[in-house]
Copies of this chain bind each other. A is one copy, B any other.
Amino acid sequence: MNQLIIDDAVERVRAALEAGQIEDAIGYLNTLHPADRAETFADLEIEDQHELLPRLDAESTAEIFEELEDDDALAATRHLTSAQLADVLDEMDPDAAADLLGDLPPDQAASALAEMEEADDVRPLLAYEDDTAGGLMTPEFFALREGMTAQQAIAFLRSRDLDAETPYYLYVVDAQDRLVGVLGLRALITSLPETVVADVMQRAIRTVQAGTDQEEVANLMTKYSLLALPVVDADGKLAGVIRSSDIAHVIEEEATEDIHRLSNISSDGDLGPWSPVRTSVQRRLPWLYVNLFTAFLAAWVVSQFEATIAQLAVLAVFQSIVAGQGGNAGTQTLAIMVRGLAVGEIEIRDVGPALVREIGIGLLHGLAVGTAVGIGAYLWKGIPFLGVVIGLSMAGNMVAAGMAGTLVPLTLKSLKLDPALASSVLVTAVTDTVGFGLFLGLATAFLPLLKPV
């Protein structure tokens, strides 16, 4: 649903509240899909949220909380009593409830947990970080015992509350709850009633550990087109199941994070075209200041050659081309490395061959672009040696760009940091300083040769 329709919904709710018609506002909200309702709710003024929240039933509130961004959901809990919050948490998906509990202050989390009826479903999930397999999985799955007959298994399924979100796979565990196989529903339906599950199940099964990073989970599920992936604990016990519909969110979030970070935007939580101006400035301005620092560094390099520029102002015309093209080439390499790390195509130990390869590509690009720039500069300004200086420094900067574009993200990754974090600032700092330094340095060294013929 697009923003204009959400805006309209917000307007209608606000108008109803202003007219004192709180029941109308709630009635209208209930006509919306949960996802749209949550978006509308998040866009309301804090006072309106405060007025509505205690009046919504626990189920609606749970749906809203599941759809809200983490920070917004946390803020919204302040409008609820501990008992109300416990009711809402009971209605939420256990993994979402665990995420929210993990964000609450410890006191508030403990008292809400104490009042919850389904605290036992949620408690084991609290141990897992949000961005791991354990944090993504739902503990609501169907595990058959390997010794069950087909008839017993069907009776078991009939007795349980399968909801429409449950994937088609049935997992099979042994007496110690260890995952031993998987069974399709059709194999079960078409088996003779006395067939033992262990005899028809498939034993080879792909699993992840609860601590596995969500990016690795996403890569595995995407590569092998898995509709669901079982999660096991350290003892091999089946702990939960991750659905591919959960993973789509993860892939989208990680991609947004990479795009934001590569574009020098802080990416804790979501920043979109309609985020509050205050949030937008908070996420963007600090990086502009960081960039400013590196820009002054590059400017300092230029200032070392002020005397040369005073003698030959045309150098100021070309210096930005050398620096800028290096920046572009470095950004290309950086994007390929960050994306390659994200989808698992490259790892830290591949640094050697990757570096050699990017230096080679840098040389090729340097030759191609350096020649073009050199000829262009000569034709424009009629100074043959200016072409040589600019071409050489361009080629050198392209190699520096390939090196920085490779080493910066791989080094960040090896330091257990996000390879996209601050990497474009660092790469541009390298290509700016190397570009200005090489070009103006060579120009200073060969100044007598840089006269028009």
Contacts and interface: CB of A to CB of B under 8 A. Distances in A.
Q: At the interface, is chain A mostly helix, strand, loop or mixed? A: helix
Interface in A173-210: 182, 184-186, 189-190
Interface residues of A, number: 118
A151 interface: no
Contact of A225 (B168, B249, B264, B321): B249
Given A164-B184, A259-B335, 18 more contacts: A3-B347, A158-B190, A164-B182, A167-B227, A168-B185, A225-B245, A226-B245, A251-B251, A255-B259, A256-B343, A263-B335, A273-B336, A273-B350, A288-B325, A298-B321, A299-B317, A306-B317, A320-B436
Copies in the assembly, this chain? 2
A343 to B, nearest CB: 7
Interface string A317-340: 111110111001101101111111
Nearest to A154: B189
Interface in A346-379: 346-347, 349-350, 354, 357, 360-361, 364-365, 368-369, 372-373, 376
A33 interface: yes
A218 B248 contact: yes
Contact of A157 (B186, B251, B291, B345): B186
Given A258-B259, A291-B328, A302-B317, A163 B184 contact: yes
Contacts of A444: none
A364 B314 contact: no
A303 B380 CA distance: 11
Contact of A313 (B189, B226, B306): B306
A292 interface: yes
Interface string A30-45: 0001010000000000
Contact of A260 (B285, B321, B339): B339
Given A299-B317, A318-B299, A3 B345 contact: yes
Interface in A274-288: 274, 277, 280-281, 284-285, 287-288
B272 A339 contact: yes
A399 to B, nearest CB: 14
